[in-house]
Amino acid sequence: MDIYSRKFAIIVIIVLVSILALQVMTNSNNAQQLIDSETCEIYIMDANINTKKYLNEFDTKCLDFKNLNK
C-alpha cells in the first residue's frame, strides 16, 4: 500500500480518531470536574484515589454569582 494513496490516509485518520475517542471515554470515568462552592475554583475529583486536584482555573459564572450576592 502506497503512503500517498487515498485509502491509506483514510485508514490513518480512522485509527487516530478511534484512539482519541477511546482516550476520552476512559478518562471521563476516572475523573469528574467540579467547582468548589467557596472559592469557585475548578478541581478534578479522581475516583481511583478519591482526592481533589485543583486546576488553578476559576468558573466565571460562579464568580459573577458570588459578586452579585455581596
What value does the mean pLDDT of the chain take? 83
Q: What was the pLDDT predicted at 38?
A: 85
Place of cell 500517498: 4
pLDDT at 66 over 90: no
pTM tops 0.85: no
Question: How many whole angstroms separate alpha carbon 30 and alpha carbon 18?
Answer: 19
In the chain, beta strands by DSSP E:
31-35, 41-46, 51-58
Q: How confident is the model at residue 12 (pLDDT cuts 50, 70, 90)?
A: very high
> In the chain, where are the structural domains located?
6-69
pLDDT at 69 over 70: no
Mean pLDDT along residues 51-70: 83
Helix (H, G, I), strand (E, B) or coil at 43: strand
